[in-house]
Amino acid sequence: MTGSAITASGLRKAYQDKVVLDGIDLDVPAGTIFALLGPNGAGKTTTVNVLTTLTKADGGAVRVAGYDVTADAKAVRKSIGVTGQFAAVDELLTGRENLQLMVDLNPAADPAVIAGLLERFELTEAADRQASTYSGGMRRKLDLAMTLVGSPKIIFLDEPTTGLDPRSRRTMWTIIRDLVAEGVTILLTTQYLEEADQLAHRVAVLDGGRIVAEGTPDELKRRIPGTHVRFRFGSADELDTAVRILAGATADESELVVRVPCDGRTNSVRALLDKLDEWELDAEEFSVHTPDLDDVFLALTGHTTEVTAK
Ligand SMILES: Nc1ncnc2c1ncn2[C@@H]1O[C@H](COP(=O)(O)OP(=O)(O)OP(=O)(O)O)[C@@H](O)[C@H]1O
């Protein structure tokens, strides 16, 4: 497939008088990873539900794999795989039986895929154990393996690594990257800025049902202030002096922190430290800060990813 795998324009959805999607536009090129990034309640799951035909939008148009989600819902469903926040895994069945169930439900699927999927997801040893004995990471992997039974070309992953330990998260990232290398298109949702940064070709930042920014992770990072150093002082007097003597410095008075633009090179940092020495200022804390997507979120929405209530 070339061109767009998923397009949406003007998506709107409200529950009673609560607007959940407020005009969402998306364009996901085939063979890429697209991340919808946002805090709890931003509208990520609702967007995925609309794109995957589970929920009907109140307005707007969506095409997935070239089909209209309303007029051609069946064709869309045949072209996609969906792994949601609540795994489709049947806990009472073994891993192998869960995969067999997906093969049985999918007339086009080849039963021979099961062994390969178990191996790929490092589940061969656990294949004949009940899924209820699996760890969270194993369950997620089994869930994604079940999605792959039908070899979908477009896969939706709703928060694929929420709650996973760092090692399982990295395994999941590798699997996702491998799928895309094979030509699959992936739309994933995440609350993890690092995940979008690591995986996605393009990121849409969702907040309160609107896309507040869209671009490559690097483009988003360029939209915010660059590398700087931070000094934390022990008193307001020291803070005031530091702001006066350090060029371009800005202060956060409640935290007693000064931020100074600086490229992070040793010579530049040394010059700043020398200046503090000259004025007999002794910072309690010092760090060089390179912008990450957390800063992007704060700059674009005025709040961090933590504070939006559901
Ligand atoms: N069926 C529903 N009825 C009423 N309100 C709903 C319904 N589904 C979602 N909402 C509301 O819509 C908003 C967006 O929810 P959504 O699940 O899309 O957010 P999200 O970004 O996926 O968050 P999370 O990561 O918690 O799933 C929330 O305020 C939620 O309470």
Q: Are residues 213 and 245 in the same domain?
A: no
Look up residue 284 and give its two tokens.
């309690």
Instruction: Check if 84 has its Cβ closer than 6 Å to any atom of ligand 1.
Output: no
Q: Is residue 10 part of a domain?
A: yes
- Same domain, yes or no: 148 and 282: no
Same domain, residue pair 16 and 79:
yes
| Per-residue confidence (pLDDT) for residue 79, from 0 to 100 | 92
Burial class (CB in 10 A: 0-12, 13-18, 19+), 294: middle
Axis crossing angle, helix 113-120 with helix 136-148, rounded to the nearest 10: 140
Kindly state whether residue 286 falls inside one of the protein's structural domains.
Answer: yes
Structural contact between residues 148 and 117, judged by C-beta atoms closer than 8 angstroms: yes
33: Cβ below 6 Å to ligand 1?
no
- Domain co-membership, 19 together with 119: yes
The answer to whether residues 40 and 303 touch, using CB atoms and an 8 Å cutoff, is: no
Query: What distance, in Å, lies between the first and last C-alpha atoms of the chain?
Result: 37
Q: Is residue 104 part of a domain?
A: yes
Q: Are residues 152 and 283 in the same domain?
A: no
- Same structural domain for residues 213 and 232? no
pLDDT at 310: 38
222, 245, 267 - which closes a domain: 222
Ligand 1 mean position, distance from CA 40 (Å): 8
Residue 304 lies inside a defined structural domain of this protein: no
Helix (H), strand (E) at residue 23: strand 18-29
Calculate helix-pair angle for 136-148, 95-105, nearest 10 degrees: 20
> Residue written as tokens 């089909």?
67
Average pLDDT across each block of 10 residues of the chain; the chain has 310 residues. List them in order. 88 94 96 92 93 94 96 93 80 95 87 92 95 90 91 93 86 93 95 88 93 89 78 95 93 92 89 96 91 72 55
pLDDT for the residue numbered 194: 83
Domain tally for the chain?
Answer: 2
Which atom of ligand 1 sits closest to the CA of residue 310? 29
Does residue 245 share a domain with residue 211? no
Q: Would 164 be classed as within a structural domain?
A: yes
Taking the centre of ligand 1 as the mean of its atom positions, its distance from the CA of residue 50, in whole angstroms, is 12
* CB distance 40 to ligand 1 below 6 Å: yes
Residues 250 and 190 in one domain: no
Q: For the domain that residue 255 is a member of, what is the CATH number?
A: 3.30.70
Ligand 1 pocket member 38 (CB < 6 A): yes
Q: What is the pLDDT of residue 111?
A: 85
pLDDT of residue 304: 61
Could you report the predicted ipTM of this complex, rounded to two decimals?
0.93
Note the pLDDT of residue 305. 57
- If asked whether residues 47 and 119 sit together in one domain, one would say yes
For position 132, which CATH number holds? 3.40.50.300
**Residue at which a domain ends, from 198, 222, 246:** 222
Q: What is the pLDDT, as a whole number, of residue 306?
A: 55
- Residues contacting 131, CB < 8 A, separation 6+: 89, 90, 91, 92, 93, 94, 95, 98, 139, 142
Burial letters 144-157, b for 16+ CB under 10 A, else e: bbbbbbbebbbbbb
Looking at the structure, do residues 107 and 241 belong to the same domain, yes or no?
no
Q: What is the pTM of this model?
A: 0.80
* 299 is a domain residue: no
25 plus 172 within the same structural domain: yes
Q: Is residue 305 part of a domain?
A: no
Range of the domain at 16: 4-222
Q: Tell whether 50 and 134 lie within a shared domain.
A: yes
- Residue 296: inside a domain: no
Structure tokens at 165: 């330990």
210, containing H or E segment = strand 210-215
